[in-house]
Amino acid sequence: MHGWLLSGRLWQPLRQQLSPRWQLWTPDLPGFGDALRPRGLQPSLVSYGRWLAEEARRQADGRPLVLIGHSLGGSLVLHAAAQLGEQLRGVVQVAAGGGVYQPRPFRLVRRGGAGFLRWRPGWLAQLPGTEAIRSPLVADLHAARGLLACSMQQGAVRRLPAMAAALTVPSLWIAGSRDTVMEPRYVRHLAGYSREHRFALLEGEGHLPMCSAPAALAALIDAWLQQDLDLSPAERNEDRAADGAGPRDQLEADQSLAKPRS
């Protein structure tokens, strides 16, 4: 699930790496990308988390599923996870962390986000060749404002550790070493509350590793799905095995299965 002001097309490079071994559903959140926001859907983490759980269950059609969230999308994943029961097999969080409320930085982010939404040049989205930047320009104003404000509230931020601790499935938390939006220490901090988690650091990557390093990100996820969740890809390719340390070894080197925080 993509983050604030982005869209499902964010996952396309990663999708190309994981398909056809794994079936992926990469929607636009309502009000973002090409998806309209239904009038009854409130722009809050709780409402969007409920929407995600309902839609994921419908798309999976009874099959086991794994939720993947990026940045703010990671908060939605935590809200949705508790509603999926035994159908949920695991959670992957990419550049998603937090749980530490910081009044001044959060106030600056809220102010900057509100300023962008107010002054964004929406007309740029009509020009050819601007597909890559279209989503921030056309995002539903009510949805964008509401989700930003909700995610920055003190109560919402301080609930994140409890929600991570409530996960009943294994989780994989991935951070880029050069991410200045969600620094690795905050990803590691929130991951530490979950019962069965692994943490992996992508060296040299920033906030969007699914775009800058899709092959490396896919390798981590692929190894974790098979190793920790014991899931089998839809299409096996035995010739892909390589000599030396692979993604599975990297997961083990980065961090073994950790105990939850007390």
pLDDT tens digit sequence for 185-229: 999 999 999 999 999 999 999 999 999 999 999 999 999 999 999
Query: 58 pLDDT exceeds 90?
Result: yes
242: how many CB neighbours lie within 10 A of its CB?
9
Q: Put the strands of the sheet holding 88-94 in their side by side order.
A: 65-70, 88-94, 171-176, 197-202
Confidence of residue 243 (pLDDT cuts 50, 70, 90): very low
Instruction: Confirm or reject CATH 2.60.420.10 for domain 8-227, answering yes or no.
Output: no
Q: What is the value of pTM for the model shown?
A: 0.89
Provide the sign of the torsion angle of the four alpha carbons 236, 237, 243, 244, taken in this order. Answer: negative
Triad 54, 84, 196: Cα angle to 5°: 140
Question: Domain segments of the chain: what residues?
Answer: 8-227
Residue 229 near residue 170, CB atoms below 8 Å? yes
For 250, phi and psi rounded to 5 degrees?
-65, -40
pLDDT: which is higher, 244 or 49: 49
Contact 189, 258 (CB under 8 A): no
The alpha helices in 61-172, defined as continuous H runs, are 72-81, 103-119, 134-138, 141-151, 154-165
Q: How far apart are CA 216 and CA 164, in angstroms?
A: 25
Amino acid 254: pLDDT: 46
How many whole angstroms separate alpha carbon 130 and alpha carbon 18?
A: 26
- Which percentage of the chain shows pLDDT scores above 90? 82
Would you state the pLDDT for residue 71? 97
